[in-house]
Structure 1
Amino acid sequence: MLPIIALIGKPNVGKSSLFNILTDSNKAITSQKSGTTRDRNYGHYIIKEEKKFKIIDTAGITNTKSIIKKKSIKNTKKAIKEAHIIFFIVDGKEGITKEDHFISKIIKKKKKKTYLIINKTENIKKNKKICEFYKLGYKKIHKISTMLPKTIKNVISKIKFKEKNINKIKKKRTNITIIGKPNVGKSTLGNALLKKKQFITDKKPGTTRDSISILNKIKKKKYILTDTAGICKKKNIKNEIELCSIKQSIKMIKKSKIIILILDISEKKISKQDLSIIKIIIKNGNFLLITVNKEDKISIKEKKEIKEGIKKKLKFLNIKKIHFLSALYETGIKKLMLSIQKILNIKKKKFSCQFLTKILKKAIKKHQPPIQKKIRIKPKYAHTGKINPYTIIIHGNKVNNLPKSYINYLKNFFQKEMKLNNCIIKLIFKENKNPFIKK
């Protein structure tokens, strides 16, 4: 088990900025607006390529009546309980506050190894505000500035960690990302798949801001599940935080092997916004699982109509299965998990050049390629390339001149014959060299 460090403090002290610096990422959204972080965000911190720790970025602790903020604080308290080490972060410019005393009491009750980290100490040498923090009762304090990231790791590496059981860096896991428009039930579905209340849920759209990744497993197969912010139209973006959230969601699509796209049941059809998300997924060649959440709100007749409408609209993808489920009541979750498991098993599938060429010839026999300048285009043989996206390389004469309609025909044909449902196949064409052409 990896030692876990939780970053704890009041809002806007620089927890997310420190998280990004330590994990060498931009996973956590940073903003001058307090309360940007809501869920627990996980990453890894490595010291001198030897020691590895899990880092948790958390929401700021403060006295509040807001339901979402109360849920955020509850999530932060879970992080304190989960952690082996606490980095208690305070604001050097502002000085000690009532909230710092309040948070210190919460941390001390848990009796965890705690380091007091004073942030925003740039241009501060000796200051009464800094000395005040000794009142919190911590023997050693560490001054940092997230504005000067190069100095941070040097400061942190000087802290002596006595934790044992430091594991070696493990191999990469399969990334699975939940995508969709705001308020379609992404976080609720994430909690249902994880079988615990990991992600904050609320009826108010835009609750999730960061893309939060959690390690999980299905029948001993480990994968990373990511909940994302809703992707809405550009004209509906209200502020910089929402824009950063959307950019982060699109970034996660690019990193993931499997995408679970949730459709809005209230619209009873695929919207233009859904299609724009699907275009991004197609471009990156992910495995796509189409899900319709909140099935408890529609009749059997409506369900059938929605299913037919989706299949008709996504005819070009050859989607065989659409998952209808209720993330809230956890119906249809087992079937979705089974589909995920099947995709995870595709890694083991190996298709020989002979097998793929046989499929290619079968496709050509059923529907001949077009004639161009009195010469018929001749695809001759095929073999596999990458697995993510699943790539098939086709060699032949004039194959680079194949029209889009015929390329889509071949994609669907291969998908059907190879039984790769929900897999978006990428085709690469290579011209056979003519030995009679002089160099």
Structure 2
Amino acid sequence: MTTPTPVVALVGRANVGKSTLFNRLTRSRDALVADLPGLTRDRHYGQARWGGRDFIVVDTGGFEPTAEQGIVREMAKQTRQAVAEADVVLFVVDVRAGLTAQDHDIAAYLRRLGKPVVLVANKAEGMRESAQWAEFYELGLGEVVPVSAAHGQGLRSLVEAALAHVPEPAEDPHEAEARARAEEGVIRLAVAGRPNVGKSTLINAWLGEERLVAFDLPGTTRDAIRVPFERQGRRFELIDTAGLRRKGKVFQAVEKFSVVKTLQAIEGAHVVLLLLDATEGVTEQDAHIAGFILDSGRSVVLAVNKWDAVDAYQRQCVQRSIEARLVFLKHAPLHFISARQRQGIQALWGSIVRAYESAMIKMPTPLLTRLLHEAVAFQAPRRAGHVRPKLRYAHQGGNNPPVIVIHGNALEHVGDAYRRYLEARFRKAFDLVGTPLRIELRTQDNPFA
């Protein structure tokens, strides 16, 4: 069983630097940052990798556990949800502002939950030898880790302290080998999408299909359910993000949704079926999930559900919104279905299998090199001053997603447009469907330099 990616939630009162810390940990600028309290309101998710460990970071708004009304109450609900999903909580305080009554309230709430908490004294630049942040020991949450999110100081110690609460499981190599043999040839399929787009309806339609065998398999501690089943001689493992119940109750399954479950399901899959709602078009949340799928390198199949519930004009609007907001998923097969009416759901299986085969394809080095030379002969890369990049040979560097490594000279001058040109040539030659294709350019060292 694949171990779920650890989840780290950032919690604290407003304007203590949670979003700045989020951007540092994820090495991104995804979270809005300004010297204004209350800028972040919803939960915000991002991927992070430190010291060879992957984890998911959740940014939250200013937390007031005792809030009873208004937007502050709604923000508190969002923070409680983030804490419930998390393996570790980073409680961020402002060392320059000092200890406040609100910090005491948050600490009391976190102590009651009993979850692992790391107390982070932010804005501690130039104060590591100072005793000013020692007052935060009053909160009774153990050691205080001083950092400066704005300057990137102390982050490695912080990550080590956080991930110490979720150690990597020691795995028996014989057990890993046996599992690998058992999973060989099994297509892991994640069904992802917003709440109420019809994930459960589609899954239930699949499980009720003739020539389809399914049974329950206990999942992870997050109650994610993996359903192994077989269809027309192909073995699948459905990584369910909709909260399936036992087979006897599957047709009364209640739609559940957790962003964390969806992100973990995507990372553990070979192929992701991204389900959209025809009655609402492509929303910002759809685009966010689609971007995460692309960043994870997973194959994707798009399905627009509830196609029977919209008229011709709405269908045109949906198609235009897909072209505009999901332009980066041009390689993904697109299907229009009605899970409730069981219309178009059979064609999904063909695209899922093709996307898996494209992700796991073997590309012989002689063929790749020949295709590379043909592409260069048809259109050579542009000169950069007196230098023209020379692309000499190519080989496969991995799969799921496929990676093509190209060697040559002065390849640092190859532009993004030429990369896209090469990708299109390789895609057409190998008939790749659904999967991203990554191209790595490696310049050979000049022995005479």
Contact 1:317 1:412 in 2 (8 A): no
Residue of structure 1 in register with 2:261 after alignment = 248
Summarize the Cα distance change of 1:299–1:366 in structure 2 as closer, same or farther, 3 Å threshold: farther
Residue of structure 2 in register with 1:215 after alignment = 228
- How does the TM-score come out when normalised to structure 1? 0.52
- Looking at structure 1, the residues matched to 263 and 323 of structure 2 have their Cα atoms a distance apart, in angstroms, of 24
Residue of structure 2 in register with 1:267 after alignment = 280
- Looking at structure 1, the residues matched to 241 and 385 of structure 2 have their Cα atoms a distance apart, in angstroms, of 50
Residue 348 of structure 1 and its aligned partner are, at CA, apart by 7.2
In the alignment, structure 1 residue 293 sits paired with structure 2 residue 280: no
Q: Which residue of 339, 345, 349 maps to 1:327?
A: 339
What does the per-residue CA deviation read over 1:149-195, in whole Å, with 9 as the maximum and x for residues that have no partner? xxxxxxxxxxxxxxxxxxx7552233110111111111211222232
Moved more, 287-296 or 258-267: 258-267
Q: Which residue of 375, 378, 381 maps to 2:393?
A: 381
In the alignment, structure 1 residue 416 sits paired with structure 2 residue 416: no
Higher relative contact order (CA 8 A, sep 6+): 1
- SS at structure 2 position matched to 1:371: coil
- SS at structure 2 position matched to 1:178: strand
Contact 2:306 2:338 in 1 (8 A): yes
Summarize the Cα distance change of 1:297–1:198 in structure 2 as closer, same or farther, 3 Å threshold: farther
- SS at structure 2 position matched to 1:376: coil
Contact 1:264 1:293 in 2 (8 A): yes
Residue 313 of structure 1 and its aligned partner are, at CA, apart by 4.1
Summarize the Cα distance change of 1:335–1:198 in structure 2 as closer, same or farther, 3 Å threshold: same
Which aligned pairs between 1:230-245 and structure 2 lie closer than 5 A?
245=258
- Looking at structure 2, the residues matched to 183 and 428 of structure 1 have their Cα atoms a distance apart, in angstroms, of 39
Residue 245 of structure 1 and its aligned partner are, at CA, apart by 2.6
Residue 324 of structure 1 and its aligned partner are, at CA, apart by 0.5
Summarize the Cα distance change of 1:419–1:301 in structure 2 as closer, same or farther, 3 Å threshold: farther
- SS at structure 1 position matched to 2:343: coil
Where in structure 1 are there 5+ consecutive unaligned residues? Answer: 1-22, 30-167, 200-208, 231-241
Residue 217 of structure 1 and its aligned partner are, at CA, apart by 1.9
Residue of structure 2 in register with 1:171 after alignment = 182
- Looking at structure 1, the residues matched to 182 and 359 of structure 2 have their Cα atoms a distance apart, in angstroms, of 15
- SS at structure 2 position matched to 1:171: helix
Q: How many residues align?
A: 256
- Looking at structure 2, the residues matched to 309 and 190 of structure 1 have their Cα atoms a distance apart, in angstroms, of 25
Contact 2:278 2:306 in 1 (8 A): yes
Summarize the Cα distance change of 1:175–1:420 in structure 2 as closer, same or farther, 3 Å threshold: same
Q: Which residue of 348, 351, 360 maps to 1:336?
A: 348
Contact 1:191 1:198 in 2 (8 A): no
Identical-pair percentage: 31
- Looking at structure 2, the residues matched to 256 and 262 of structure 1 have their Cα atoms a distance apart, in angstroms, of 15
Summarize the Cα distance change of 1:334–1:243 in structure 2 as closer, same or farther, 3 Å threshold: closer
- Looking at structure 2, the residues matched to 218 and 243 of structure 1 have their Cα atoms a distance apart, in angstroms, of 26
Contact 1:210 1:245 in 2 (8 A): no
What does the per-residue CA deviation read over 1:206-257, in whole Å, with 9 as the maximum and x for residues that have no partner? xxx8432100123222121122159xxxxxxxxxxx9993122211211111
- Looking at structure 1, the residues matched to 323 and 378 of structure 2 have their Cα atoms a distance apart, in angstroms, of 23
Which amino acid in structure 2 is aligned with residue 171 of structure 1? A
Q: Which residue of 230, 233, 241 maps to 1:228?
A: 241
Which amino acid in structure 2 is aligned with residue 291 of structure 1? A
Residue of structure 1 in register with 2:142 after alignment = none
Residue 25 of structure 1 and its aligned partner are, at CA, apart by 5.2
Which aligned pairs between 1:128-147 and structure 2 lie closer than 5 A?
none
In the alignment, structure 1 residue 257 sits paired with structure 2 residue 270: yes
Summarize the Cα distance change of 1:301–1:428 in structure 2 as closer, same or farther, 3 Å threshold: same
RMSD over aligned Cα, in angstroms? 3.4
Residue 301 of structure 1 and its aligned partner are, at CA, apart by 5.4
Residue of structure 1 in register with 2:198 after alignment = 185
- Looking at structure 1, the residues matched to 364 and 337 of structure 2 have their Cα atoms a distance apart, in angstroms, of 37
- Looking at structure 1, the residues matched to 362 and 314 of structure 2 have their Cα atoms a distance apart, in angstroms, of 40
Which amino acid in structure 2 is aligned with residue 431 of structure 1? T
Residue 336 of structure 1 and its aligned partner are, at CA, apart by 0.3
- Looking at structure 1, the residues matched to 360 and 322 of structure 2 have their Cα atoms a distance apart, in angstroms, of 30
Summarize the Cα distance change of 1:378–1:272 in structure 2 as closer, same or farther, 3 Å threshold: farther
Summarize the Cα distance change of 1:412–1:314 in structure 2 as closer, same or farther, 3 Å threshold: farther
Residue of structure 1 in register with 2:363 after alignment = 351
Residue 425 of structure 1 and its aligned partner are, at CA, apart by 0.8
- Looking at structure 1, the residues matched to 405 and 238 of structure 2 have their Cα atoms a distance apart, in angstroms, of 31
Residue 317 of structure 1 and its aligned partner are, at CA, apart by 3.5
In the alignment, structure 1 residue 397 sits paired with structure 2 residue 385: no
- SS at structure 2 position matched to 1:385: strand
- Looking at structure 2, the residues matched to 388 and 281 of structure 1 have their Cα atoms a distance apart, in angstroms, of 12
Contact 2:332 2:435 in 1 (8 A): no
Summarize the Cα distance change of 1:24–1:323 in structure 2 as closer, same or farther, 3 Å threshold: closer
